[in-house]
Structure 1
Amino acid sequence: MRRSSLRVVTLADETPLTSTDVPLDALRTVLAPLGAVEHAERLTGGMFATSYRVTLADETRVIVKTAPTATEKLLSYELDLVRSEAHVYGLAQEHPALLMPRVLLTDFTRTTLPSDALVVSHLDGVPLTDAGFGPVDDDPRLARAEEELGAYMARLHTLLPAPAGQGFGYPNAATGLVGDTWPETFGRMVETVLTDAPRWGVELPADEVRAALRRHAAALADVTRPVLVHTDLWPGNLFVDAATGEIVGVIDPERAFWGDPLHEVVGADCMTTGPVNPRVLAGYATVVPGGLDVSSPSAQARLALYRTFLTLILLTEIVPRAFEGDWLDDYRTTLRTNLATLLTALA
């Protein structure tokens, strides 16, 4: 559903192709400190920001990402996400093993463009969604990518623990979704989605969700040390070597937060309610002795809560994002079924 594709924008174009496209003269102005724009391609397939792959006059390729201008269609936690992404890239810059792009330029003035803009280095490889790998039992490249994903998660959580004085929650404190404890902070994150949903007429089982949070507060309290959680390590955000399956790049950490490392496996496989991918867990254990706990009663409760949280977001964003297509009915039905399954387990 989120396969990436390209849409070419030539220098002859004088106006945006759609209401979300950036005029080329604005791209030229933003990129002027880096060089002249030779060619630009709109990267479609994403559901949030508008992005371009730009070739400069010296043949350097960069990625330009701009935030949505229709802020009334954003969920509350999505405030200034491009700035959060730039912040995470900055944290990762000292750790090449995290495989993230380098920040080359930011424009948060909202003068040349009506929204924030982030310019980063171009990554090699292809998105895992586009690599053409077969079923994991028949294609060792996919098995390698999944094991390396687990190892990557462990490196991220090991290399970027919260600095002294950093609490839980999103890097952008303006969201209000921060706190000193994980039960407090995660509770605010969930409550914000429950509050957002009625704005677009989305019905959620709010009372059941709140009851589940109260019932499993002790499990959430087991998390006392926040780490940086990417939260969106699905295959579209993983760049791989198509010949080997090696992960060579990772993008889109705009939804990252300081929290429980267990949450990471949820964003990587957002439509499942079953066991965590064993290859991901095996990869994690190659970096962190003992691996990631997914089987204790506390971990099982937290995993179900995190899957519930993401499912609430996925259900809510359908309306403001104006999703459409033949896939949508089945998608919504699957999410509703998953939510019922999770809440039953939590009860």
Structure 2
Amino acid sequence: MLDHAPAPLDDATLQALTTVLAPIGRLTHAEPLTGGMFATTYRATLADGERVVVKTAPTATERLLRHELDLLRTEALVYGLAADRPDLLMPRVLLIDLTRSVLPSDVLVVSHLDGTPLVDLGGLDDATHCVVQGELGAFMARLHTVRGDRFGYPNAAAGLQAATWPDAFAAIVGALLDDAEAWRVDLPADRVRAVLRRHAAALAEAPGPVLVHTDLWPGNLFVDPATGSLVGVIDTERALWGDPMLELVGADQRGLGPVPPALLEGYRSAGGELALGTPAGDARLWLYRMWISLVLVVEMVPRGYTGDWVAGHRADALANLHAALDALDWRLGTIAVRGPRPWSAAPRAAPRRI
């Protein structure tokens, strides 16, 4: 699904992929897809010419955050929910192997999507950017018609579920703070917990539980490069049952500015409505900006990120965390005192989180 120059696969990996894919076809070619910093993904071609994508979960589970346990099973679950919904633009599950008998992790095989990853298109003209944002908003609204029974992450291994959204969200944030403590990531944990308590009533006004992708950044969106039309969505491994407004921060993980009008119009055009502009809705948006900033800061340590971009990435995420806390501490819905970072079409020098 991602077109980057791959390195050749070793014989052992090719043999393992051949064995895994045998129930659906004979492997004739495979190559790794680079750019991910979580799962390992391969594009494989079968003897009948069909191309498929093989995804394996990380084997070093001791380096996973709590909410990342069994994520490949969540991805398969969501694709299954979308199987009879072509309007959700997701791959079809062709095979899932949870035995870990061939490869040392869960394996998911899905259909290959057409289109180009939005992150690979570079700068878009204003008209195409509006098309992309409008179609993304409409997709969000369609996805949010899928409803669940409980709030939180569907993967039972994480244990981050509850009957109410305030309880589920508090558990999700609490797990991140526990992970931070375990990995010795310095965070204003007491301030985060105080903000959660103070704004529990705003969380209680959230609708749901609906299916939220939580990671709709441009690397997970496939578009028609000629028109900007959205043609595919991948990597649902971090999906959860929650407040639809949470989707906004997953789509723009480093932005603090206004949500693009074209995205909101697309959401409304597909029958959705978000609570932006209300005291409770604005409080929740800042809470979710706090949450995504926590994720970005905490995950860097167990991932072992390296490179020139790391210091700036961490500084930006920490600045956004404090900006969200300031907004929640002072006056809800106003621009944070540290200044807004506009909604961005793509993260700057940020890792692909697939």
CA deviations over 1:152-177 (Å, ceiling 9, x no partner):
0001112x122xxx111111122110
Decide whether the 8 Å contact of 1:170 with 1:258 is kept in 2: yes
CA distance in 1, matches of 2:189, 2:126: 42
The answer to whether the 8 Å contact 1:133/1:139 transfers is no
Give the residue type in structure 2 aligned to 1:79.
L
Alignment partner of 1:6 is 2:4: yes
Structure 1 residues not aligned, in runs of 5+ = 16-22
In the alignment, structure 1 residue 343 sits paired with structure 2 residue 325: yes
Counterpart for residue 21 of structure 2:
31
Alignment correspondent of 1:318 = 300
CA distance in 2, matches of 1:264, 1:293: 13
1:145 aligns with 2:159: no
Give the partner amino acid of 1:261.
P
Aligned residue in 1 for 2:216: 233
Match of 1:112 among 80, 102, 114: 102
For residue 302 of structure 2, give the secondary structure of its aligned residue in structure 1. coil
Tell me the distance in 1 between the aligned counterparts of 2:41 and 2:5.
11
Q: What is the CA deviation profile of residues 200-253 of structure 1, one whole-angstrom value per residue up to 9, with x for unaligned ones?
A: 221111000000001000001112531000101001000000110000000001
The equivalent position to 1:61 in structure 2, one of 47, 51, 56, is 51
Separation of aligned partners in 2, 1:97 and 1:43:
26
- Provide the aligned C-alpha RMSD in A: 1.4
**1:16-95 to 2 correspondences below 5 Å:** 23-95=13-85
2:309 aligns to what?
327
CA distance in 2, matches of 1:251, 1:40: 20
SS of the aligned residue for 1:258 comes to strand
Structure 1 equivalent of residue 266 of structure 2: 283
Q: How many residues align?
A: 329
1:125 maps to amino acid: G
Residues 1:177 and 2:160 are matched in the alignment:
yes
**Corresponding residue SS for 2:144:** helix
Separation in 2 of the partners of 1:300 and 1:4?
A: 36
SS in 2 for 1:68: coil
Q: In structure 2, how many angstroms separate the alpha carbons of the residues matched to 1:294 and 1:220?
A: 13
TM-score, normalisation: structure 1: 0.92
Shift of 1:10: 4.5
Q: Mean Cα displacement is larger for which, 77-86 or 279-288?
A: 279-288
Report the Cα offset of residue 41 of structure 1: 1.3
Does structure 1 residue 205 correspond to structure 2 residue 192? no
C-alpha deviation, 1:263, in angstroms: 0.3
- Partner secondary structure for residue 118 of structure 1: strand
The percentage of counterpart residues that share the same residue type is: 59
Counterpart secondary structure, 1:55 = strand
Alignment gaps of 5+ in structure 2: 330-354
Correspondence list, 1:181-200, <5 A:
181-200=164-183
Q: 1:304 aligns with which of 269, 280, 286?
A: 286
CA contact (8 A) 1:167 1:180 kept: yes
Is the Cα–Cα contact under 8 Å of residues 51 and 65 in structure 1 kept in the other structure?
yes
